Chains A and B, each alone.
Chain A
């Protein structure tokens, strides 16, 4: 765990009960709750949940591919423990923008970013900042579900912990992450099977579990449902709603209904610029900018 994280952080599920309790799955089934994250802490426990997400603030963020400027100076505040959706037509720089937040943008040859990305007041582009540590704090889920093909379900979830050389009690951590991703009940009896053998929706939740396992404070999602069917999409959306209690979520989506369903706030981007950001309700019902209105009413894009 990085030293910079708040010492008050605790996970929302008691590790003891999550790891042990062989009968727990049955008990959960007995309660018959509809939520796919059926094993979340009971309401009584949620009182002691600590807000664990961290806010992210972009200040004059510009992103380049070679000389081409794809993101042209964005200032936006992603508030802690909120879901912010980024909408906008194809090629407007949504993905590029969120890839700058965990410094994945610079992995592309010739690409670089300017400006500041403040994670709870710390510029992740600042001098002396370890890009690897940044990515541990800010996780990412990609468009296409991409479990590691050589690894089992268990190893996929454990991979983040192993890759970052933080082992601890792998068994308990993997189970907790799979439960948080709402996948535990579906895979608990075949953890040693290949992750690639799951359905698309399960694979994507496996990828979410993989990101959760390293306990990031922010999760970036780059069109996480665009390769999934409606039912799998619904599960991910329910999951996002649950996860925001402990992480800050920024989700890029092509699907305006999805933004309306999951996001507390929505940002509209156009041609590399941020046109408008505000509470989702407002963006969709009474946007301030005429371009936003045209986009959300389907006049273009």
Chain B
């Protein structure tokens, strides 16, 4: 430190005390340690996924359906094609239901319902839904759409269970983002003489879009990784199908049934499927971010 001019007394008063320097160092190291600690499981998970999952990846892993024949060490067990397609189809349908519905609810809450008693009630129930375990959504759809209609499992029933799971996440995250849109923007758009629906469509939604994408992606990722709501709604099957009215396989269910197998190659397939699921969600994230960035101004 270069010598400073000025009275030593003032210099002493303004200088950083050793005690504060120490406290600062301790606090900083504590936060850094917490960060590193949190990184340990994250890194390990990715490491294990890559290590165990990459081994089972091969072209035929993605292009063949599971055979269901897992009884012998040398059985041809097949790949996970039907699981990938099933997950994509069911999550797509679930998103098509939950995203518009959820954003609609959030818009109503923020733009119209505000602090009315009904809006508060809606918020309360949405919060309750957020805490409901995913298997309950599966059971609900099972009771209503499988048992209740005296029918059987189907892909679209799985989608409905997933959309129920997504809905509160979409609503809550979209609501938070919509509330962040400055009131001044709404006001100036209204003051230009535009009807409220146009203010929402042209000013509020575009401003909130990048933030809403994040919340929606969280919901999609959560739905894509859920096993419980699908077990007794879409069941599982080996065949790839585009018929949402039929039994449908999915990655989480495939993983669930594979890890319980005594056959090593089948367990390996579970790891491969888990890695596939993670990569799928990562890709989805990237694509959605690219789209939302392009829709914004450079």
Give complex CA distance A134, B114 in Å: 24
Contact B207 A214 (CB under 8 A): no
Verify B185–A146 contact, CB threshold 8 A: yes
Q: Are the CB atoms of B297 and A163 closer together than 8 Å?
A: no
B297 touches A150 (CB 8 A): yes
**A216–chain B nearest beta-carbon distance, Å:** 8
Q: Smallest Cβ distance from A200 to chain B, in angstroms?
A: 14
Q: How many B residues face the partner with a CB closer than 8 A?
A: 25
Distance in angstroms from B180 CB to nearest chain A CB is 12
Indicate whether A286 reaches chain B with its CB closer than 8 angstroms: no
CB-CB < 8 A to A194: which residues of B?
297-298
Count residues on chain A whose CB falls below 8 Å from chain B CBs.
Answer: 33
For B208, the closest partner residue in chain A by CB is A150
Among A84-92, A118-126, A135-143, A231-239, the stretch in contact with B: A135-143
Closest to A216 in B: B193
Query: Which residues of chain A are near B209, meaning CB under 8 Å?
Result: 150
Residue of B nearest to A165 (CB): B198
Say which one of A24-32, A40-48, A101-109, A266-274 lies at the interface with B. A101-109
> What's the minimum C-beta distance from A230 to chain B, rounded to whole angstroms?
23
**A109 lies within 8 A of B114 (CB):** yes
Indicate if B101 sits at the interface (CB-CB under 8 A): no
Alpha-carbon separation in the docked complex, A109 to B191 (Å): 16
Q: Is the CB of B114 within 8 A of A160?
A: no
Among A151-195, those with CB < 8 Å from B are 151-152, 159-160, 162-165, 193-194
A50 adjacent to chain B (CB < 8 Å): no
Other-chain contact of A140, B191, B199, B296 (Cβ < 8 Å)? B191
Determine the chain B residues whose CB is within 8 A of the CB of A107 once the complex forms.
186-187, 190
Chain B residues 185-216 with CB under 8 Å of chain A are: 185-195, 198-199, 202-203, 206-207, 209
**B59 within 8 Å of A (CB atoms):** no
Interface class of chain A by DSSP: mixed
Q: Mark each residue of chain A from 190 to 211: 1 if its CB lies under 8 Å from any CB of chain B, else 0.
A: 0001100000000000010011
A109 to B, closest residue via Cβ: B114
Does B182 reach chain A (CB closer than 8 Å)? yes
Write the chain A residue with the least CB distance to B186.
A107
User: Which residues of the partner chain A approach B207 to less than 8 Å between Cβ atoms?
Assistant: 148-150
A142 CB contacts on chain B under 8 angstroms: 184, 187-188, 191
Any chain A CB within 8 A of the CB of B29?
no
**Which A residue's beta carbon lies closest to that of B199?**
A163
Residues of A within 8 A of B (CB): 102, 104, 107, 109, 132-137, 139-140, 142, 144, 146, 148-152, 159-160, 162-165, 193-194, 207, 210-211, 214, 216
What are 8 A-B pairs with beta-carbon distances under 8 A? A107-B186, A107-B190, A140-B188, A150-B203, A151-B206, A160-B193, A164-B198, A216-B193
Given contacts A139-B192, A142-B187, A148-B188, 19 further A-B contacts (CB under 8 A): A104-B191, A107-B186, A107-B187, A140-B187, A142-B191, A148-B189, A149-B207, A150-B206, A150-B296, A152-B297, A159-B189, A159-B192, A160-B192, A163-B199, A163-B203, A164-B194, A194-B298, A211-B192, A214-B193
